[in-house]
Chains A and B, each alone.
Chain A
Amino acid sequence: MSFYLAIVGTKDNAVYDLEFGTYRQGGDGRPKFSADMKQLCPFIVHSSLDIVEEMQWNTNVMHLKVIDKFYNYLISSYMTAGNIKFLLLHETRADDVIRQFFVDLYDLYVKTLMSPFYSVDQPITSAVFDQRVKMLAKKYL
Chain B
Amino acid sequence: MSPQPQSVVSTPLDSLSYAAPSRIRAFLCPVGLVSRPRFLDFVSRLQDTAIIRLGDVTPDPRPERVMFSPQGFPDGFVVYNFVTAIDSHHAFLEDLELYRRTLAVFGLADYNNINDLTDLQVVIGALQAQHPQALIHKVILFDCPLGQSELPSVDFICVPPKRASRITSLRTTLCDLTSALLAELPLLAKAFQAADTIASPLARDDDYDSVMLTSSAAAHSRLSPAGSTGSLPSTINKDNRISYPLSHHTERQRMRRKGRSMKMIANMYLLAGRTFDALKEYNDALNVLKGVNDHLWHASSLEGIGICMVILAHIGVPFVIPNAVLPPVSPSSEKKELVQPQLLDLLPQMTSTILSLYNRSQNFPGESVPQITYAETILRTTNLLTCTTLAGGWTSAARTATVLSRPIPEVSIPYSQFHHAKMNVMNWISAAQAVRLDGVDAVDAARILTGIAAACGKLGYFRKRGFVLRQLVIELIPRIFQARQVAQNRKSRVPRSDVDDDEYWEDGRDVHVQPQDLDSGVLAVLSDICTVYGIPVDSTSEVSTFGWQEVKTSILKTCIGLCQVMPDFVGIVRYTSMLFRFSAEDLSVDEQLTLIRNLGNAYTAARSMGIQDFEQEYWDTYLVRNIAVVESSLWAVPTLVPLDAASSNRSDSSGPFIYNPFAKKGDEEGKKHLFVLDEPVEFKVILQNPFAFELDILTMSLVGTGTSFSSDVISLVVPPRKLYPASIYLTPTSTGVLNITGCRFQVLGCKETIVSITPTQAAITPPIRIKNFGLDARRSSMVKILSPTLVKHVSVEVVPALPVLRVNRISLPHSSLMLLEGERRRFVIALGNVSETVPATSISLKFTDSTTKSLSAALQEDFRSESDRYEIEMFLHKRAALRCVTDLNEVKVPANGEAEIEVEVLGKRGLTSACVEISYSNVFDSNLVLKEMYVRTLTLDINVTVNASIEVAGCDFVPFSYDMPMIRTIDGKATTTDILLKFLDQVGILFEEMDNYCLMLLDLRNSWPSQLAVELDSRTGANDIHTVKKVIQPGHLTRLLVPIRRISDIATSMPIPSLAPPKQFTRSAVKSLSGNGSRKSGLWSPEVERTVFWYREELLKVLDGRWTDDISATDGLRRGAVELRALRISPQMVDIIRVDDVVVDLSLAPSEYIRKSGKYHWIVEADSFLTLVASVTSHSTADSISGILRIQPTLRNLPASIALDINRRMLFNGILQMPVVDIKSGDTRRVETDFVVLVRGEYEFVASFEETTAGFGGKRYIGREKFVISVN
A residues near B, CB below 8 A?
8, 10-14, 17, 39, 42-44, 46-51, 53-55, 57-58, 68-71, 82-83, 119-121
Contact = CB atoms under 8 A, between A and B. Distances in A.
Contacts of B460: 50
B1193 interface: no
Taking each of B422, B534, B548, which has the highest tally of chain A beta carbons within 10 Å of its own beta carbon? B548
Given A46-B548, A49-B463, A121-B766, A10 B777 contact: yes
A39 B545 CA distance: 22
B548 A12 contact: yes
B233 to A, nearest CB: 14
A83 B770 CA distance: 10
Contact of B773 (A10, A47, A55): A10
B218 interface: no
A11 B534 contact: yes
A110 B774 CA distance: 21
Interface string B900-942: 0000000000000000000000000000000000000000000
Interface string B461-498: 11110111010000000000000000000000000000
Interface string B268-281: 00000000000000
19 contacts: A11-B534, A11-B778, A12-B548, A13-B534, A13-B545, A13-B548, A17-B550, A39-B554, A42-B548, A42-B550, A42-B551, A42-B554, A44-B467, A47-B461, A50-B462, A50-B463, A55-B419, A120-B768, A120-B770
A117 to B, nearest CB: 13
A119 B781 CA distance: 15
Given A42-B550, A69-B430, A119-B768, A11 B415 contact: no
A43 B467 contact: yes
Nearest to A6: B548
B766 A11 contact: yes
A78 to B, nearest CB: 15
Interface in B763-803: 766, 768, 770, 773-775, 777-778, 781
Contacts of A48: 463-464
B547 A71 contact: no
B734 interface: no
B51 to A, nearest CB: 35
Interface in B740-768: 766, 768
B713 interface: no
Contacts of B778: 11
Contacts of A14: 548-551
B777 A46 contact: no
Contact of B461 (A50, A71, A82, A120): A50
B539 interface: no
A54 B419 contact: yes
A57 B548 contact: no
Given A11-B781, A12-B463, A119-B768, 4 more contacts: A11-B773, A43-B554, A57-B419, A70-B430
A17 B777 CA distance: 21
A54 B773 contact: no
A83 B768 CA distance: 14
Nearest to B774: A53
Contacts of A57: 415, 419
B547 A13 contact: yes
B39 interface: no
A82 B773 CA distance: 10
Interface string B533-557: 1100000000001111111001000
Nearest to A120: B770
B1184 interface: no
B551 A47 contact: no
B547 A12 contact: yes
A17 B548 CA distance: 11
A46 B770 CA distance: 20
B467 A58 contact: no
B1254 to A, nearest CB: 74
Interface string B402-445: 00000000000001100100110010001001100000000000
Contacts of B415: 57-58
A46 B546 contact: no
Closest 10 pairs (CB-CB, A-B): A47-B467, A10-B773, A50-B461, A11-B546, A11-B777, A14-B548, A50-B463, A47-B464, A83-B773, A53-B774
A70 B431 CA distance: 9
A68 B423 CA distance: 10
A17 B551 CA distance: 12
B466 A47 contact: yes
B767 to A, nearest CB: 9
A120 B415 CA distance: 29
Given A53-B774, A70-B433, A58 B419 contact: yes
Contacts of A11: 534, 545-547, 766, 773, 777-778, 781
B467 A46 contact: yes
Nearest to B773: A10
B777 A12 contact: yes
Contacts of B550: 14, 17, 42
Contacts of A51: 426, 461
A68 to B, nearest CB: 8
Nearest to B426: A51
Taking each of A13, A58, A70, A120, which has the highest tally of chain B beta carbons within 10 Å of its own beta carbon? A13
Interface in B229-280: none
A15 to B, nearest CB: 10
Nearest to B232: A71
B434 A71 contact: yes
Contact of B775 (A12, A69, A119, A121): A12
A47 B770 CA distance: 22
Nearest to B468: A47
A120 B766 CA distance: 10
Nearest to A43: B467
Contacts of A121: 545, 766, 770
B534 A12 contact: yes
Contacts of B551: 14, 42-43, 46
Contacts of A47: 461, 463-464, 466-468
A1 B773 CA distance: 32
Contacts of B426: 51, 68
A44 B550 CA distance: 13
Nearest to A50: B461
Taking each of A8, A11, A39, A83, which has the highest tally of chain B beta carbons within 10 Å of its own beta carbon? A11
B768 A13 contact: no
Interface string B715-752: 00000000000000000000000000000000000000
Nearest to B433: A70
A43 B774 contact: no
B554 A46 contact: no
Given A71-B434, A120-B770, A50 B464 contact: yes
Contacts of A12: 463, 533-534, 546-548, 774-775, 777
Nearest to A17: B550
Contacts of A39: 554
A124 B545 CA distance: 15
A83 B776 CA distance: 13
A53 to B, nearest CB: 5
A94 to B, nearest CB: 20
Contacts of A42: 548, 550-551, 554
A25 to B, nearest CB: 22
Contact of B770 (A10, A55, A69): A10
Interface in B170-187: none
Contacts of A17: 550
Taking each of B463, B533, B551, B775, which has the highest tally of chain A beta carbons within 10 Å of its own beta carbon? B463
Taking each of A46, A57, A68, which has the highest tally of chain B beta carbons within 10 Å of its own beta carbon? A46
Contacts of B774: 10, 12, 49, 53
A12 B233 CA distance: 35
A49 B419 CA distance: 15
A8 B466 CA distance: 17
Contacts of A68: 426, 430
A12 B467 CA distance: 14
Contacts of A83: 770, 773
